[in-house]
Structure 1
């Protein structure tokens, strides 16, 4: 008897299966039929119920690296955070949120795939740039940020806190990673958007150190 899946379980199974196939065979070489074969009881129809095409599947994989809308909305509603504080909270959630970590662990190797990196960067920019721009404007108003170009600085924040740290694009050792983190901290601080403050820097180092010991 075929196992019955909830909509969320079916979607996750499709994304997990596709991730492994994209890593093994490459995105271009993987077909919908390949994905169906790797599924446990789900049909081609089930795939198309959740995703319009193979492209929408890889977009779905990329979106797993982004906090869900519910979490983003909860950060947006927090009156105790400044504009800068909201950006910092999004950064830390993106890096260390348990749900994101669990759902992306299978897909990490895809960050070496040029097709996936392109889609990943596009999704990051489409989702985060408007949000960060809005928080930079809010930060300019509440005094936590001093940046005369909110739209452009929002893009710089994404480049320095996301794209620059993709190992496949900019290889680094564990030691040089922290040097890059210091460089990003310096650039953002000098730009008036101190996202990687000393406190945030320490939090990142602590969490990465703890993760390395597991």
Structure 2
């Protein structure tokens, strides 16, 4: 039992140290040796994590808090499913710790293998939860979507892939144009998701990731 607790503490320290370094230096400029130099043995680091990418994945999953977040918003009693889905994304977009981490790791997503893993993770874990919101929205009348799975796939792509990674830069005018397109698309599919508050949060989040003024 003690050994397990010690192992958990070591993992937590590694993740905390790595996150600090990723914020300060950026993901691309941080090496495994940088993390080791903060008081870890090489054996200890590589016993728990095979690579810097694996450490990054664990940090991202911790920041996402996906399962707990989805469960919390799905179970809100005083909101429609559409309102709960908006609140979920508002919460995620206002998590600037994630935005700051991503801003230092954008080059990483140019690696097709890493991008593919990210895409698969979101389509496996996020898409089914979004679909559940839509199905419940159809039931409570806040959404009228005939294709819940396909619409959930588009929403997952929009927030987790396009907004989440920002693989290529656009100016603010182009960003607003893209948002308007998806706003119209989602509304046409029966999920009027992108209200004014959420749109403004997307713009602020984008500026923070890309460092656009």
Shared fold, TM over 0.5: yes
Matched residue SS, 2:126: helix
Question: Residue 152 and residue 210 in structure 1: after superposition, are their counterparts in 2 closer, same or farther (change >3 A)?
Answer: closer
Q: Residue 146 of structure 1 contacts residue 192 of structure 1 at CA under 8 Å; is this kept in 2?
A: yes
Question: Residue 99 and residue 14 in structure 1: after superposition, are their counterparts in 2 closer, same or farther (change >3 A)?
Answer: closer
Question: Residue 202 and residue 153 in structure 1: after superposition, are their counterparts in 2 closer, same or farther (change >3 A)?
Answer: same
Residue 167 in structure 1 maps to residue 141 in structure 2:
no
How many corresponding residue pairs?
199
Q: Residue 137 of structure 1 contacts residue 150 of structure 1 at CA under 8 Å; is this kept in 2?
A: yes
Match of 2:5 in 1: none
Residue 35 in structure 1 maps to residue 40 in structure 2:
no
Q: Residue 26 of structure 2 contacts residue 101 of structure 2 at CA under 8 Å; is this kept in 1?
A: no
Unaligned ranges ≥5, structure 2? 1-8
Question: Residue 90 and residue 133 in structure 1: after superposition, are their counterparts in 2 closer, same or farther (change >3 A)?
Answer: same
Q: Residue 136 of structure 1 contacts residue 145 of structure 1 at CA under 8 Å; is this kept in 2?
A: yes
Matched residue SS, 1:162: helix
How many Å apart are 1:177 and its aligned residue?
Answer: 0.8
1:74-99 Cα deviation digits (max 9, x unpaired): 22321122222222122222222244
Match of 2:28 in 1: 23
TM-score by length of structure 1 reads 0.74
1:144-203 Cα deviation digits (max 9, x unpaired): 1111221221111112233234432x4411221111111111110111111112442245
